[in-house]
């Protein structure tokens, strides 16, 4: 399977968002990654439903929504109506994770679970077979442009082993500090999807940068 690339628009110039989405449309990117923050689960706010609605009207790529929020169940119906393909919630924000995952799937979206850097993959043993995706945070969630946490590669390898041991089919996505060097190591460890924000958007040639990530 070729590596999937999901550029994050978190660090985009929102006054020029149409141009950013058109760049992603014209690139080899597979998804557009939406980082949705509420200022409670993480100490930052990003963007809300009006921005997602605008993106949905111009994006030619599936929308991959990563919810860094408390009570993510409240967002399921709205995100489905906005055309989101994959909704990822945080393990740490879901006291009834199985119910949340089933609600996402019932709404017609694919369901993912994100793990903060301190959260072990072993906590997913009982639910891994229900997941379409697991998102490993390789930085602390809430801000773009952070330094890659080196233990993330070993964590990806542990997750890959868990998925295989359970005969599950969840994809492994990694978000945070992804570049050509860290991305290569993550793919070698078992990652299927790389989220890249600042590395792509700050590039002098974002389309070329995305193409380079695709080769990892």
132 belongs to the catalytic site: no
CA nearest neighbour of 88 among 35, 140, 127: 35
How far from each other are the two terminal CA atoms of the chain, in whole angstroms? 11
Q: Which of 30, 38, 132, 175 is catalytic?
A: 175
C-alpha angle with apex 191: 190 to 195, nearest 5 degrees?
A: 165
Q: 3-class SS at 63?
A: strand
Q: Which of 35, 38, 64, 132 is catalytic?
A: 35
In sequence order, which ranges of the chain are alpha helices (DSSP H)?
A: 17-25, 49-58, 76-81, 97-106, 152-165, 180-189, 198-201, 206-214
73 belongs to the catalytic site: no
Residues annotated catalytic, as ranges: 35, 175
């Amino acid at each position: 399977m070729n590596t999937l690339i999901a550029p994050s628009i978190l660090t985009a110039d929102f006054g020029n968002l149409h141009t950013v989405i058109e760049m992603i449309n014209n690139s080899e990117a597979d998804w557009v990654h939406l980082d949705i923050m509420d200022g409670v689960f993480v100490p930052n706010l990003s963007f809300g439903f009006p921005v997602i609605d605008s993106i949905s009207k111009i994006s030619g790529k599936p929308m991959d929504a990563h919810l860094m929020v408390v009570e993510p169940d409240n967002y399921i119906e709205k995100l489905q109506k906005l055309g989101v393909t994959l909704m990822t919630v945080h393990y740490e924000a879901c006291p009834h994770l199985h119910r949340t995952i089933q609600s996402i799937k019932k709404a017609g979206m694919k369901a993912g679970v994100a793990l903060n850097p301190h959260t072990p993959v072993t906590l997913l043993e009982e639910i891994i077979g229900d997941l379409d995706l697991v998102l490993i945070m390789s930085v602390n969630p809430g801000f773009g442009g952070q330094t890659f946490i080196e233990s993330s590669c070993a964590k990806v390898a542990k997750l890959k082993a868990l998925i295989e041991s359970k005969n599950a089919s969840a994809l492994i996505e990694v978000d945070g500090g992804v570049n050509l060097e860290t991305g290569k190591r993550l793919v070698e460890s078992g990652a299927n999807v790389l989220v890249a924000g600042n590395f792509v958007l700050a590039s002098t040639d974002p389309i070329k940068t995305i193409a380079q990530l695709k080769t990892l």
